[in-house]
Amino acid sequence: MSFGSTMFKNLKDKIATQVNKTNQTILSSILQTDPASISKDSGARTSSTTSHNDNFDHNRSRLNSAASDISQTASANNNYVSPARSFVPPSDIESEHGGDESDHETNSKMQRLVNIYKTKFIQLKNAYDEVERERDNIKNILQQHQDTSIKRQTKLREQIKIDRQAKEELERSYKQEISLRDNKIQELTQQVRTTNDHVQVDREEMRNLREKNTKLETLLTQCKEAIKNHQEKHLKVVTERDDLFEKLNEKQTLIESMMKDRQPEESSIQVKENFDCDTSVLLKDKERLQEELEATRLCVRQLETDLESIKQQSVTFNSNDEIKQKHEDLLAEFNEKSSHLEQIINDKLTLEISNKELQDLIKNCQETIDKDKQQIDILKDTLSKENEQHTKSLDALKTEYENLTNELQQTKQAKDSIQSLLSDALQERTIDKDLEIQQNQNTVDDINEAKASFSQKLDCQRQEHLDEMATLKSQQQIEFDNNLKELREEKDYLEIKIEQLESQHKKTIEALENELTAAAKRAQDKITDLTKQTDEQKNKSNRHEQELNEKSSQLIELEKQLETLKSQANLSQKELVDECNSLKEQYQHISESNTQKNEQLTELEEKLRIATQQLQDEILHRKNIEKQLEIISLNNSMDEFKTTITEHEQLQQTIDNSQSNDRQLLEQKDKMIDTLKQDYELQIEKLHEEHKRAVEDLHEQLLNLNSEINEKNETFSAMEAKLNSTLSEKTSLKNELDQIRIQMETIQSNSNEFNVKFQQTGQQIKDLETDCDSYRNEIETLKTEIISLVNINEENIRRIDQYENEKFDFEQDISEKDRQITERDEKIQEIELTLKQTKERATKLREALQRTKGSIKNNEQPNAVDSENQIQVISQEYEQRLKENEMEYNTKLKIMAKEMSSKIEENEYNYNQKIHDLIQKKAKVENDLTNSAERRINDAERRAYISEEQISKLQEQIKEKQLDYYRHIQDLQIEIHKLTKQIIPTIEQFSQTSIEDLYSNDIQHPFVIEPTEVDYLKQIVLAYMTGTDRLTMAKVICAVLRYNESEKSLIIEEEKLRQSRWLNSTR
């Protein structure tokens, strides 16, 4: 009795502390119970016990099968409501032990207690039956939901497989397209490089041709000046000869007229004597002139005889031919040595090119090393992106290797082309030199042959020379124009290609940007899915804490290994940096030595160049001196034929002396060249050896670096394997978590209301994204407009270039017309000079006539009138002729001047009009273009600014909504946390009281409680404590404590809200 009383007191205390109000209602219900109801309850109990015993085996099996599913599917049926309960558990207040009573009273009390406990048990049994019915209903609902969920899972798995396959196919196709585009880009870059190399080579050829053209133009100018001088001298001699002949003719006419007009008179004896004296003087002058003519003729004959003797003596001068042959041999040797020197220079150029190539290779290697360092740093920062970055680095290295190989091939091709060009240039030079030697020999022979007929041969040679120079000029201009046209065509073709490449590159960039945006969106969707998955995984993470702890320890070990590897990588990086620094220092030393050697080579080249230039200048100077001396001798032969023979002999002597001096100089310079060649060859061999050593050292260093890189790649591959193993473990965990996710999908049904709100916000975000897309489309349209404006500007620039070309053509036409005007001015000046000369001659004749008049007046006074009349008539006729000539010249000059001035004015007017029209058109076009471009740009900027403002506003709105959403979630999490803290101790207390009641009932009535009910209660409590199923526990508590429906609904709704908050917080 004492034990029972203590148990009841303890129960009373616990129940009084938990529920105060419920105990009062229970006491009132127990006091009002009747014995009839007790008997009815006992009968119902016996019937229920029999039915329970019949259905025991079936219920046990059901409990065992459905106990594990209640925790998963209890929250699936949101509309489920437990039936109203009529059970009111009685209180144990009357079971207290009183004072000392009799046995009969105690027995009666105990019987009452037994009846009370029986009624309690019956009520509990009825409640349990109701719970079982509810459980059967729940089980049916769960089976239906399980079937639907399994079907969904299969469909989702199939969809996921299809999506993965599609994704893999897309990735493959994208990779293939990217590889094809990279190959195209590489090919196009190679083509651009080759075209640039060809353009550089063409520029060098153009420079060489221009230099040759300048040299030839200087020679032409010199030749033209010499020809002009000879022509002027020839004209002077001819004019003097003509003047002399005119004077003779005039004097003869005067003498004849005087002889005819003379009349024999006796009175004019003195006049006759004077006249006879004058005639005798004139006859003497005539005889003297005839004697001079005969002397000149004799000199000409003597010169002709001398030429014939020289031609006969040319047979004897065969020794001169041997001397010429020796001279030619020496020139051939000199040419060979000069070609050998040029070959040495070419070898030096090839060495410089190879040095530059090695420098480029070293720079590329340094760039690759820098890129590898950057990749290592990126791997340190983000281990998750190691695979992608590693593949990218490998692709970059491959492309760089391919670029290097392509560059090597291009350099080899360029080297071959340069060598071929140099060989062609050498051949052309040798051919030019042979032609020059042959021409010089021909000119010498022509000079020796042309002494007899000098005047005719001079004209022929002038004409031939002019024709040759004209043909050469025309050929050179044609070649120059053709080369310019080809270069311009190639330039236009290359510009078109470059524009096409740029357009293709822009299109590819835009496609890649679109693909990247799509991939980013997909990645964001995947990230959201993964975040949801991780949130769902966190719900069942408590069960897998042990496994996660084990794997966390493994991960810690792996992190330690990673740290060790990082430390090793840092050490290796430091070593590489030190090696790179050492290589840089070695490279600096090598570059310094190369610069010194290059300076030495440049000095030696300058010396060689100076020596060759001096030789060439001396040879050209000698040749020019010889030609000038020959021309001077021939010009002097026109004036003084006697001195030409002596000068010719002196010239031959001087030529012999110069040839001997030239031979000596050539021998000396050949010796010098041999010594210089030997020195250069030794220096070049030394440089070759040093260069090979440096290249071998660099090659070994590169091999070492490649081996180290391979070792690091192996370490990274090992790390990747470990990471793959960890990822496989993660995938296994994910599979397990997927199974858990299947169970959690039933819980997500409670979060539909919140998802609706989230979908609304998502729709708003989608609307905002559509707005953003519209603004982006507007931006793209603006970009297209900008591109069109750029194209219009390019077309305008092209038109401006056309206008400038037309302007250049007009300026050339004007320059040609100015040149014509200057030529006409020169002709006018020449005519004016002739007029002045004629006037001077007229004045001289007038003076002579006046003198003759004075002499005639003094000598012939009687016949003065007749002679004066005759002289006046002659002078008047002469003056009239002079005036007529002057008038004709003046009229012609005036007409020419008027025509030229009118033409010049017309041309100037037309040119000014055209220029004015062009300027106006250009200004209009530029103004229109600038205005349209400025308008479009302003519109585009305004639209872009508006779109940016709208986008920024939308982003701010999204951020504000997200912040409000996260704040609401945090508040819900805080409330859930508080509620969990409040509920856990109450549940523990209730579980302890229920377990103690059950134990007490087992002691008093061991036949009442069965092990299945205890297992069921344990499962419910375990599900509640683990957090997998809290609603069932809440329902049981409400049923046991008999709360009202409003209280039940509040408790269940709060429990659902708490679960949804917890899920959102985990997300």
Query: How far apart are the C-alpha atoms of 45 and 125, rounded to whole Å?
Result: 8
Most confident of 240-254, 337-351, 586-600, 857-871: 240-254
Which pLDDT score is estimated for 383? 59
Query: How far apart are the C-alpha atoms of 110 and 95, rounded to whole Å?
Result: 8
Q: In this predicted model, which residue has the larger pLDDT, 456 or 61?
A: 456
Closest CA to 11 of 996, 1040, 1037: 996
Q: In this predicted model, which residue has the larger pLDDT, 425 or 247?
A: 247
Residue with tokens 């069965």: 1010
Work out the number of other CB atoms within 10 angstroms of the CB of residue 846. Answer: 14
Closest CA to 1032 of 1052, 1046, 1057: 1052
**Are the C-beta atoms of residues 89 and 121 closer than 8 Å to each other?**
no
Spatial neighbors of 208 by CB under 8 A, at least 6 apart, are: 425
Which pLDDT score is estimated for 1022? 76
Which pLDDT score is estimated for 878? 64
Burial class (CB in 10 A: 0-12, 13-18, 19+), 965: middle
- Write out pLDDT tens, residues 816-831: 777 777 777 777 777 7
pLDDT band at 1003 (very low <50, low <70, confident <90, very high): very low
Which two three-digit tokens encode residue 428? Answer: 């052309």
pLDDT band at 431 (very low <50, low <70, confident <90, very high): confident
Which pLDDT score is estimated for 46? 43
Q: What angle do CA 730, 734, 738 make, to 5 degrees?
A: 175
**Are the C-beta atoms of residues 702 and 586 closer than 8 Å to each other?**
no
Q: In this predicted model, which residue has the larger pLDDT, 186 or 771?
A: 186
Q: In this predicted model, which residue has the larger pLDDT, 1049 or 288?
A: 1049
Query: How far apart are the C-alpha atoms of 738 and 744, rounded to whole Å?
Result: 9
Residue with tokens 């870059």: 189
Q: In this predicted model, which residue has the larger pLDDT, 882 or 635?
A: 882
For the whole model, what pTM was predicted?
0.21
Residue 714 has pLDDT above 80, yes or no: no
Work out the number of other CB atoms within 10 angstroms of the CB of residue 947. Answer: 19
Q: In this predicted model, which residue has the larger pLDDT, 542 or 988?
A: 542
pLDDT band at 140 (very low <50, low <70, confident <90, very high): confident
Across 307-313, average pLDDT: 61
Q: Which of 148-157, 553-562, 711-720, 1029-1038 shows the lowest per-residue confidence on average (mean pLDDT)?
A: 553-562
Query: How far apart are the C-alpha atoms of 1065 and 112, rounded to whole Å?
Result: 54
**Are the C-beta atoms of residues 506 and 787 closer than 8 Å to each other?**
no
Q: What does DSSP assign to residue 99?
A: S
Spatial neighbors of 673 by CB under 8 A, at least 6 apart, are: 337, 341, 611
The one-letter amino acid code at 864 reads A
Which long-range contacts does 471-477 make (Cβ < 8 Å, 24+ apart)? 472/216, 473/220, 476/209, 476/213, 476/216
Across 420-431, average pLDDT: 68
How does the average pLDDT of the chain come out, rounded?
A: 68
Spatial neighbors of 921 by CB under 8 A, at least 6 apart, are: 803
Work out the number of other CB atoms within 10 angstroms of the CB of residue 850. Answer: 12
Query: How far apart are the C-alpha atoms of 1043 and 1054, rounded to whole Å?
Result: 15
Work out the number of other CB atoms within 10 angstroms of the CB of residue 772. Answer: 16
| Residues constituting the chain | 1067
Most confident of 10-14, 156-160, 211-215, 722-726: 156-160
pLDDT band at 933 (very low <50, low <70, confident <90, very high): low
**Are the C-beta atoms of residues 462 and 227 closer than 8 Å to each other?**
yes
Spatial neighbors of 705 by CB under 8 A, at least 6 apart, are: 365, 369, 576, 579
**Are the C-beta atoms of residues 118 and 45 closer than 8 Å to each other?**
yes
Q: In this predicted model, which residue has the larger pLDDT, 385 or 257?
A: 257
Which pLDDT score is estimated for 62? 43
Phi, psi torsion values for 926, nearest 5 degrees: -65, -40
Closest CA to 303 of 820, 814, 648, 654: 648
Which long-range contacts does 945-954 make (Cβ < 8 Å, 24+ apart)? 947/775, 947/778, 947/779, 950/771, 950/775, 951/772, 951/775, 954/768, 954/771, 954/772
Phi, psi torsion values for 1005, nearest 5 degrees: -130, 85
Work out the number of other CB atoms within 10 angstroms of the CB of residue 56. Answer: 12
Percent residues over pLDDT 70 in the chain: 44
Across 326-330, average pLDDT: 63
Closest CA to 247 of 295, 286, 287, 291: 286
Torsion over CA of 650, 654, 659 and 665, rounded to 10 degrees?
170
Which pLDDT score is estimated for 953? 75
Which pLDDT score is estimated for 373? 67
Q: How far is CA 343 from CA 288, 603, 611, 677, 679, in A?
A: 70, 18, 16, 11, 15
Spatial neighbors of 32 by CB under 8 A, at least 6 apart, are: none
Query: How far apart are the C-alpha atoms of 403 and 190, rounded to whole Å?
Result: 9
Across 10-20, average pLDDT: 64
Across 541-551, average pLDDT: 64
**Are the C-beta atoms of residues 782 and 944 closer than 8 Å to each other?**
yes
**Are the C-beta atoms of residues 143 and 746 closer than 8 Å to each other?**
no
Query: How far apart are the C-alpha atoms of 69 and 136, rounded to whole Å?
Result: 12
Sign, CA torsion 901/907/910/912:
negative
Query: How far apart are the C-alpha atoms of 837 and 845, rounded to whole Å?
Result: 12
Residue 227 has pLDDT above 60, yes or no: yes
Which pLDDT score is estimated for 440? 65
CA of residue 947 relative to chain centroid, distance = 30
- Write out pLDDT tens, residues 865-881: 565 666 667 667 766 77
Burial class (CB in 10 A: 0-12, 13-18, 19+), 119: buried
Q: How far is CA 330 from CA 327, 336, 659, 935, in A?
A: 5, 10, 11, 78
Domain boundaries, the chain: 262-310, 772-953
Which two three-digit tokens encode residue 632? Answer: 């001077």
3-state class of 347 per DSSP? Answer: helix
H and E: helices and strands count for the chain? 16, 0
Torsion over CA of 867, 871, 873 and 878, rounded to 10 degrees?
160
Work out the number of other CB atoms within 10 angstroms of the CB of residue 29. Answer: 13
Percent residues over pLDDT 90 in the chain: 0
- Write out pLDDT tens, residues 50-91: 444 444 444 444 444 444 444 444 444 444 444 444 445 544
Which pLDDT score is estimated for 267? 46
Work out the number of other CB atoms within 10 angstroms of the CB of residue 206. Answer: 14
Q: Which of 420-434, 863-877, 1000-1014 shows the lowest per-residue confidence on average (mean pLDDT)?
A: 1000-1014
Spatial neighbors of 185 by CB under 8 A, at least 6 apart, are: 505
Q: In this predicted model, which residue has the larger pLDDT, 781 or 730?
A: 781
**Are the C-beta atoms of residues 64 and 139 closer than 8 Å to each other?**
no
Could you please report the per-residue DSSP string of 617-657? HHHHHHHHHHHHHHHHHHHHHHH-HHHHHHHHHHHHHHHHH
Which pLDDT score is estimated for 652? 65
pLDDT band at 147 (very low <50, low <70, confident <90, very high): confident
Query: How far apart are the C-alpha atoms of 120 and 128, rounded to whole Å?
Result: 12
Closest CA to 135 of 56, 67, 53, 51: 67
CA of residue 985 relative to chain centroid, distance = 71
Query: How far apart are the C-alpha atoms of 310 and 503, rounded to whole Å?
Result: 80
Q: Check residue 735 and give left, alpha or beta (phi > 0: left; psi -120 to 50: alpha).
A: alpha
Query: How far apart are the C-alpha atoms of 723 and 713, rounded to whole Å?
Result: 15
Which pLDDT score is estimated for 448? 63
